[in-house]
Structure 1
Amino acid sequence: MNKQPQSKIFNRILSELREYRFSILISVVCALFTVYLTLLIPILTGRAVDCIVAKENVDFDKLIYILQLMVVTVVATFFTQWIMNRVNNRITYSVTKNLRDRAFAKLQHAKLSDIDSHPHGDFVSRIVSDADTFADGLLMGFTQVFTGVLTIIGTIYFMITISLKIALIVIIATPVSLLIAKFISEKTYKFFGTQAKLRGQETSYIEEIIVNKNIVRNMDYEDDALENFGSMNNDLADASMKATFYSSIVNPSTRLVNNLIYAAVGVFGAVMVTTGGITVGGLASFLSYASTYAKPFNEISGVITEFQNALACASRLFEVIDADVELDEGVDKLIEPRGSIEFKNVCFSYDKSKKLIENLNIKVEPGQKVAIVGPTGAGKSTIINLLMRFYDIDLGQILIDGRDIREIPLDDLRSNFGMVLQETWLKNASIKENLKMANPEASDEEIIEAAKASHAHSFIKKMPYGYDTVINAGEGTLSLGQLQLLCITRVMLNIPPMLILDEATSSIDTRTEQRIQSAFNKMMNGRTTFVVAHRLSTIKGADLILFIKDGAIVEQGNHSQLLQKNGFYAKLYRSDFEIN
């Protein structure tokens, strides 16, 4: 995920607004009317003052007419501003919703290498928090910057019509405010970008500690976790304070300059009144315009600060949207696959500077049960990731029924594998809905039959509403073993031609594991199956056992053959047997 320059981010935002051209046009028209009507009030006020001051007899009819006109103008301004704000809100939150949808959609197809290289909480921060911050900055840009620019142009016009000499004082001093705002905005963008990045890291750390809370407490790691969080929080506070400091001095700085301009206008205007160069009402109108002219600069300077923050957050959001997707060039689907799988001279590494798997060769016949064992970090799960194309190999080929898996559409490739992993995932829905994810057309009888086969039926019946019980995996209402049994049931409900069991019974006690092993054997019968497990008791019946060490196959054969070799597998088997 590459960062983009600020100018490119701004242009990208403009391109995102193109489809809202009609709504923006309505907003522009409303803004024009709002500004014009707002700027009529000082003129009408000045004329009302002249009706009273400049004449011996007050023209009450004219005064009442002016006051009525002012009331109509104020009411009309209210309605045009209300319409403008409503349209701006719709544009802003439609754009934000669209970006958030696209960012989440991209995560579904992004390369796992990109996802795994970032803390998962960072993606949460980008799609949720950064999107909200971007929306706030964009909304302020619509509602204040555009109307502010129109107000500045309008007030300059009206000030020139009243007195060109006094107007020049205001116009000549304007660049000072602009230079101050520009200088500070460059600083704020840098610190707001750092703030957003640190906020994402902190979110990730909080998520990590909460998810692993039991291990944290078991390892007596609370104090260390608190110390690490405190360090991260200090860095975030430091970046936030710097960003806030620079953003907080924009408004006072520009306001100081504008107040000095306002004072100069008042003094010079008063002198002109005494010489007859301007009426009292004209001076009153001009002072009102001078104040109105200064107000947008004060607001815009504050908005620029918020917009800098929005740009920094938009940059992080666009990084997700622009992330590389999985390469899917396959066109021909698998038709009734037999399950022949072959790895030919496969090389792969997560880090290009260090090879993990080199010249791996595996040949699996249809219907064979292949067990993959080896020490942690040897590359067991990596082989599964490559087979499913969660990662693409660097060199070599992986073939299914003689066809390179890169020629098979990704969705078709993966739909031909049933997976039961160590990590369980169930959505917040009823048990029945979760199980029917594998087969939406499954009947209640088929669901119950699959649950009985996986030994999940007994505990499901004890749930408050049976199969209609709504579960939330994050609430801890089900044990890890029960969650894993439901995942196994889900696969059993729609058994595809090939199976992958990656630590599938790791969270199930030995007694339950023995009970469902017969169900597994029935499910695996006639289907090519890859089993990754630490418990060697679960893989003794495999047709082929591969012992992986440092990304290479150092031993292969069936259980009896490998025990006779008295090598790595035999040593691992004996240690596992002794422990159990």
Structure 2
Amino acid sequence: MSSQKRPQSVGPMGHGHGPGGGNMMMMGQKAKNFKGTLRRLLTYLKPRRNQLIAVILAAILSTVFMIVGPKIMGTAITELFEGAYGKFQGIPGAAINFDKIGQILLVLAGLYVFSSLFNYVQQYMMAGVAQNTVYDLREDVNKKLEKLPLHYFDGRSNGETLSRMTNDIDTIGSTLQQSLTQFITSIVTIIGIVIMMLSISPILTLISIVSLPISIFVIRPILKRSQKHFADQQRTLGQLNGHIEEMYTGHQVVKAFGHEKQAGDQFDKVNEELYEAGRKAQFISGIIMPMMFFIGNLSYVLISVVGGILVTQRAISIGDIQAFITYSKQFTQPITQTANIANIIQSTVAAAERVFELLDEEEETKEITTASLTRAQGAVTFEHVDFGYGEDLLIQDMNIEVLPGQTVAIVGPTGAGKTTMINLLMRFYELNGGKIKLDGLDTREVSRHDLRESFGMVLQDTWLFNGTIKDNIAYGKSGVTDEEIFAAARTAHADHFIRTLPEGYETILNEEASNISEGQKQLLTIARAVLADPPIMILDEATSSVDTRTEVFIQEAMKRLMEGRTSFVIAHRLSTIKDADLILVMDQGKVIEQGTHSELLEENGFYADLYNSQFSEKAG
């Protein structure tokens, strides 16, 4: 949803009202480092400087041809008036020279045609420049997102990142395509009109120009007051968008907990704030144009009176007066437009600054690959591993040795560090100290791509994209055949339910994959992991969303899948990990117990308490 308004697209000689004051401060946002950000934004235009020069030349020629028009029209009016006046006075041989007037009008028509042609050229070329620049920006942002560490996304809402990549970049593109050429046109128009007015009458020019500082003096306090309200409008608009997005994406939870009234009340509250800020901003800024028109009309009356006196004194011709009045009426429009565009450029630079802030975010630690990894055997070692999300360490001096082909279960209460351990294994986060080795190689010496290719993951939170079921299963491996996809689905016990769907494997999942059940989603992610055929498997509560019967099928499938592979299983239901080769019991970031199921029960420690508590709960 874009709240930014653009200048009204009125030609330099148009008589439209031009950009209203209400548009002038619509964004209400300023860049922290205007000059630095603007210079950086201009570097994206540098590869297209030749096209920009051509755009500027076309804009200048289009404007110049348009500006000369009223002067030539004035000549035709003078010719018509003098002929008619002479005939009226009975002067011998006096007549209207229609041939000469016709020639003047043909020249005028030619000027307007050329002006329109050059205007088309500059708009066409600028569209290409703007879209190519935005294309480059999007490419850079997309590449940057691929290099950002996981903690960047953990610490920011998805909406904020999306806003920078879409809304802010669109703002830059719109400004480049529309406002930049209008800014050039407005500047050329102002200069051209001043020159033409001076050539007609310096006295009348002085009267016309004097109205400008008076207008600025009158509207400046209004602009300052409106800016605060426009800033409030943008802030509350962002809050409202965020609230709507949260309530829409979580509408099932909202309904399940009966939170509709509170959500509606919160919406009404923010909406009321937005209404108040918008009403005040639009009302105050709406005063600008009437004030400017009032001052402009006073100037117009004064010019008409003085001009009439000069005509009676034969100081200037009546056609020149008509041309001058046309110029004076158009004089304030490009000035207002320039002020409006200057403010939009300021807001655009602020949007560019937000994009550059994203581009300047700290990337994942640069890879120094001194070792290559083809297909891992699956030996994993944690050596004195320390890690914390902040200053306080969550994991301290963790030491684990996992042999190839072993199934390792990780258990413990919520917040013990189970998922963190997996994140470290996948190198989603960098260690504070110690080493994690895969087949004896420090994982920091292997490329992230090769490392992560060695793992298959089935998470508690399923992720499926908008596409066919077949494409979702094939996501983890390129160049697979349909038969391989079908085989993976059969292994994961997903083939039967897929074939019962109307389109089978070609069934398209919607964006949230809400057209299949949670359990079916999990089966598809398991099929995806089966197809990827990785040497190491990570199962994070993989059976938490399926029924007991399906869980038995999945356990059988996983048992076959984990044969000959190293597997890490995070589980809360301890009954599912009795056969694990090694069970790691974690609490507060430390491995407090480790061993087989029977060994840990014999120790009668933390694990035994967890297991017995679950058993007694079931018995109860």
Residue in structure 2 matching 1:20, options 44, 48, 70: 48
Residue 120 of structure 2 corresponds to 82
* Matched pairs, number: 578
> Are 1:432 and 2:460 counterparts?
no
Distance 1:155 1:341, change over 3 A: same
CA contact (8 A) 2:72 2:108 kept: yes
Residue 10 of structure 2 corresponds to none
> Are 1:53 and 2:69 counterparts?
no
Per-residue CA shift, 1:94-123, capped at 9, x if unaligned? 333432343334223222212121111222
Q: Please show how residues 341-420 of structure 1 align to structure 2 within 5 Å.
A: 341-352=380-391, 354-420=392-458
Which amino acid counterpart does residue 340 of structure 1 have in structure 2? A
Residue 111 of structure 1 corresponds to 149
> Are 1:547 and 2:585 counterparts?
yes
Q: Please show how residues 94-133 of structure 1 align to structure 2 within 5 Å.
A: 94-133=132-171
Residue 89 of structure 2 corresponds to none
- Find the residue that maps to 2:461 and give its secondary structure: coil
- Find the residue that maps to 1:144 and give its secondary structure: helix
> Are 1:31 and 2:59 counterparts?
yes
Q: Tell me how far 1:208 sits from its aligned partner.
A: 3.0
Uncovered stretches (5+) of structure 1, i.e. residues with no partner:
none
CA contact (8 A) 2:150 2:429 kept: yes
Q: Tell me how far 1:62 sits from its aligned partner.
A: 1.3
Residue in structure 2 matching 1:421, options 439, 459, 471: 459
Which amino acid counterpart does residue 158 of structure 1 have in structure 2? M
Q: Tell me how far 1:5 sits from its aligned partner.
A: 2.0
Task: Name the stretch that deviates more: 375-384 or 360-369.
Answer: 360-369
Residue 442 of structure 1 corresponds to 480
Distance 1:129 1:239, change over 3 A: farther
Q: Please show how residues 560-579 of structure 1 align to structure 2 within 5 Å.
A: 560-579=598-617
CA contact (8 A) 2:543 2:554 kept: no
> Are 1:330 and 2:361 counterparts?
no
- Find the residue that maps to 1:48 and give its secondary structure: helix
Residue 141 of structure 1 corresponds to 179
Q: Tell me how far 1:260 sits from its aligned partner.
A: 4.1
Which amino acid counterpart does residue 130 of structure 2 have in structure 1? T
Q: Tell me how far 1:243 sits from its aligned partner.
A: 5.4
TM-score (norm 1): 0.91
Q: Tell me how far 1:75 sits from its aligned partner.
A: 2.1
CA contact (8 A) 1:125 1:203 kept: no
CA contact (8 A) 1:189 1:309 kept: no
Residue 16 of structure 2 corresponds to none
Distance 1:475 1:112, change over 3 A: closer
CA contact (8 A) 2:382 2:436 kept: yes
CA distance, structure 2, for counterparts of residue 387 and residue 180 of structure 1 = 66
CA contact (8 A) 2:380 2:437 kept: yes
Task: Name the stretch that deviates more: 357-366 or 61-70.
Answer: 357-366
- Find the residue that maps to 1:324 and give its secondary structure: coil
CA distance, structure 2, for counterparts of residue 23 and residue 227 of structure 1 = 52
Per-residue CA shift, 1:202-246, capped at 9, x if unaligned? 444433333333322222222222333334444544554565456
CA contact (8 A) 2:208 2:299 kept: yes
Distance 1:511 1:553, change over 3 A: same
CA distance, structure 2, for counterparts of residue 305 and residue 191 of structure 1 = 15
- Find the residue that maps to 2:512 and give its secondary structure: helix
Q: Tell me how far 1:77 sits from its aligned partner.
A: 1.9
CA distance, structure 2, for counterparts of residue 398 and residue 459 of structure 1 = 40
Distance 1:181 1:307, change over 3 A: farther
Overall identity of the aligned pairs, in %: 38
CA distance, structure 2, for counterparts of residue 240 and residue 350 of structure 1 = 41
CA distance, structure 1, for counterparts of residue 606 and residue 423 of structure 2 = 24
Per-residue CA shift, 1:244-302, capped at 9, x if unaligned? 45654554555454444444433333333233332221221111112222210122233
Which amino acid counterpart does residue 376 of structure 2 have in structure 1? P
Distance 1:473 1:75, change over 3 A: closer
CA contact (8 A) 2:464 2:512 kept: no
Residue in structure 2 matching 1:497, options 509, 512, 535: 535
CA contact (8 A) 1:373 1:532 kept: yes
Residue 255 of structure 2 corresponds to 217
Distance 1:105 1:188, change over 3 A: farther
Q: Please show how residues 169-188 of structure 1 align to structure 2 within 5 Å.
A: 169-171=207-209, 173-175=211-213
TM-score (norm 2): 0.86
Distance 1:132 1:420, change over 3 A: same
Task: Name the stretch that deviates more: 188-197 or 12-21.
Answer: 188-197
Residue in structure 2 matching 1:458, options 496, 506, 512: 496
Task: Name the stretch that deviates more: 172-181 or 397-406.
Answer: 172-181
> Are 1:70 and 2:108 counterparts?
yes
Residue 270 of structure 1 corresponds to 308
Which amino acid counterpart does residue 108 of structure 2 have in structure 1? M
Uncovered stretches (5+) of structure 2, i.e. residues with no partner:
1-30, 87-93
CA distance, structure 2, for counterparts of residue 432 and residue 49 of structure 1 = 76
> Are 1:535 and 2:563 counterparts?
no
Q: Tell me how far 1:356 sits from its aligned partner.
A: 2.2
Task: Name the stretch that deviates more: 63-72 or 221-230.
Answer: 221-230
Distance 1:187 1:379, change over 3 A: farther
Per-residue CA shift, 1:350-409, capped at 9, x if unaligned? 233x33223322222222221111121222111111111212122222222232222211
Per-residue CA shift, 1:25-67, capped at 9, x if unaligned? 2221221121111111111111112112235132222111111
Residue in structure 1 matching 2:69, options 19, 36, 41: 41
CA contact (8 A) 1:38 1:74 kept: yes
**RMSD of equivalent CA atoms:** 2.8
